Chain A
Amino acid sequence: MEQDAQLVQQCLQGDGSAWEELVRRHTRRIFNICYRFTGNRTEAEDLSQDVFLRVYRTLGSYRSAHGGFATWMTSVTRNLLIDHYRRTKRDRATDSLDDAMPVVENKESAGRRPDEQALLGELSAQVQVALSHLSPELREAVILRDLQQLEYSEIQAVLAVPEGTVKSRINRGRIELARILQQMGVRPS
């Protein structure tokens, strides 16, 4: 975190290599948040690029005293994702769960048997589909807590809502996700 703050200072002094380092440190995390929220690789890439563009333009407004750079960046990402969600709401097809065709992901599952790998790939795809059926408020809360493993206080800073609301959204998000997975026929073994 201290290194991030130092790199930000160097960026503000016009050091291009410091910005490059910041980009390399955070691209993967931001891309994963965008992908889990949209469920689409191309959209996730475009959104990640938009996030960094906005961060670059508003870097001067970042104050390390208000929290870590990663949290601030996640907050920018979340705002862009919500904007994107609202912008594309009309265009989005209202797929039913029955029509949802899970796509098997290319997983990092070295050392697993092919049948296990196929099962895990299928489960990942089903979970991704189930995530996309959550409301954006519940989805972002679940992604930040269970995928990004952020603390409640960090999620509170990102979403700019009270801690009780954070807990409530995470709780409802998990229960809703379990219900959707059950509807899709994914049950605990």
Chain B
Amino acid sequence: MNWTCEQTEQLLTDYLDGLLPADDQHAFNLHVNSCERCTPLVSSVMHAMSSLRALPELETPPRLVYNILDATLGPRETVSGWAAFLAWVRAFASPKFAYGAVSVAATFLMVVTVSGSINWKKPKLADLAPSNIYRNTNRQVHLAYARGTKYVSDLRVVYEIQSRLRQDNDLPTNRENTTPESNPTPGRTDGSGPASPRQQNRANDVSSQLQVLAEEVPLLSGKLSLVSSGAVNLLINGGLGGR
């Protein structure tokens, strides 16, 4: 079949859109590959087609949809006065807004309660003043920090005492293991021997002095008695160990 340049031009779209029968397509290819006129034609049309198809789809201009709706359905109704106010209030009645409002209120109440700004037995409006809330929150934070510091400090003292007691308990054992004691001292903290009468007398003396002091200061009596008994034990077991 003799394929001509006119046929190529006429059936170019059929060829490019894949509508050409197989035989014609074969003849088309044979002709185009050997024709100096048709090769650049097909190439340039294919390029034009691909350039067209590569053109981007533009975004819709932002106002176009609203302009169309205004032009067809008419401008949207605007309300004023009480109707506008009621519409505004109605907007807050949505479950989403209610949930958000409850969450915010709960968070606010938690913060205010924790900060100690409000005395719930005698609530005052002034408690809700931002300066009061800030001051009370600041105070609560400082108090919490001071308590924390004190607790850590107490723990450190207790640990110190415990470690010293442990150290004292360990010492004789070590000595026994290394060098035998020539003159074992009575009243050691390892419980190997009771306190000597002289040490016991001194401990009793300190205890009685503390009790006298507690009686003189009644408010501190409870604490002092505790302190005194603790101090006595400490003196007996550790402090007056005769080291």
List residues of A whose CB falls within 8 A of some B CB. Answer: 16, 19-20, 23-24, 27-28, 31-32, 35-36, 41, 45, 48-49, 52-53, 56, 105, 107-109, 120, 123-124, 127-128, 130-131, 142, 146-147, 149, 167, 170-171, 174-175, 177-179, 181-182, 186-188
Contact = CB atoms under 8 A, between A and B. Distances in A.
Interface of B: 9-10, 12-14, 16, 41, 43-49, 51-61, 64-65, 67-69, 71-73
Contact of B68 (A49, A120, A171, A181): A49
Nearest to A105: B56
A133 to B, nearest CB: 12
A23 B69 contact: yes
Q: Which label, helix, strand, loop or mixed, suits the secondary structure of the A interface?
A: helix
Contacts of B51: 123, 127, 181, 186
Nearest to A166: B13
B46 A31 contact: no
A171 B72 contact: no
Given A27-B60, A49-B64, A171 B10 contact: yes
A179 B40 CA distance: 11
Contacts of B55: 36, 124, 127-128, 147
Given A27-B64, A146-B52, A188 B58 contact: no
Given A123-B51, A167-B14, A16 B73 contact: yes
Given A171-B12, A174-B12, A181-B48, A31 B56 contact: no
A23 B65 contact: yes
B96 to A, nearest CB: 21
The B interface is mostly helix, strand or loop, or mixed, namely helix
A148 B47 CA distance: 18
A107 B59 CA distance: 9
Contacts of B59: 28, 108
- A19, A105, A179, A188: which has the most chain B beta carbons within 10 Å? A188
A178 B16 CA distance: 14
B190 to A, nearest CB: 80
Contacts of B10: 171
A53 B47 CA distance: 38
A31 B60 contact: yes
A86 B61 CA distance: 26
Contacts of B12: 171, 174-175
B13 A24 contact: no
A28 to B, nearest CB: 5
B64 A31 contact: yes
Given A52-B68, A188-B43, A142 B52 contact: yes
B60 A28 contact: yes
